[in-house]
Amino acid sequence: MVVFFGPPGVGKGTVAIRLAKEFGCRTISSGDLLRENVKSGTDLGSQAKKFMDSGGLVPDQLVTRVVMAGLDKTDGCIFLDGFPRTIVQAEELAVYLKERNWELRVIDLEADDGFLMARLTNRLICRDCGAIYHRINLTPKKEGVCDVCGGGLYRRADDHPDVVATRLLVYHQQSSPLRDYYRKLGLMVTLRGDTLLNETLAAARKVLVNIP
Ligand code: AMP
């Protein structure tokens, strides 16, 4: 299993999806799983929604439950995006992996807050396939329409500037301590997330092919 870690907007999802395809693995995104629960009106979704709308973290117990249920359906060839985000989640994941004898590597992507704010507030996402665009740097061929599947593009409610500011603050306060946690375990490599997508992909690919 490879965890893609980093602040919101650094490109974890994009990199994970592209490389998972290349390496024949599946992607699980905790944010996507939570949004699916909100959309389909599950109990868990309605509990998670208020935290997501405000830019805060969903309580560990809820998000862990939804991610582990997703992982249960796989064989461990997984690129995980957005989980863990707290030490408690990382510890739960460690127990889960140990029980299954699955190996863990962490790719940590970093970028400055100013860059992330500009990227997130300009981000557009395909409603149908989740492909990600940028109003200025990565525009679709036809405005408002996904190049990949023809679906409609939308801006996530939590990509509005005030919510993005909260998400960045939450990352620094609650999630970034995980970098020390994984660094000490010798499981993590840090790469820049603010280079061209192809450069970030190449750097991450190099890490993945060198995993013993
Ligand atoms: P994302 O799509 O990764 O940006 O996540 C969107 C929102 O879902 C976050 O702002 C959180 O509210 C919630 N979320 C996603 N993953 C986690 C997690 N591992 N722990 C807590 N909350 C999460």
For the chain, where are the E strands, in sequence order?
2-5, 26-29, 78-81, 105-110, 123-126, 132-134, 153-154, 188-192
Helix, strand or coil, per DSSP, at residue 116: helix
pLDDT tens digits along 171-190: 999 999 999 999 999 999 99
Q: Which of 34, 93, 166 to mutate to test the pocket of ligand 1 (most atoms within 8 A of CB)?
A: 34
For this structure, is 12 an active site residue?
A: yes
Nearest to 131 by CA among 116, 149, 156: 149
For this structure, is 119 an active site residue?
A: no
Tell me the pTM: 0.92
pLDDT tens digits along 25-65: 999 999 999 999 999 999 999 999 999 999 999 999 999 99
How many angstroms separate the alpha carbon of residue 212 from the centre of ligand 1?
Answer: 30
How many angstroms separate the alpha carbon of residue 82 from the centre of ligand 1?
Answer: 6
Helix, strand or coil, per DSSP, at residue 176: coil
Strand pairing report for 2-5 and 132-134: unpaired
The span from the CA of 29 to the CA of 110, in Å, is 18
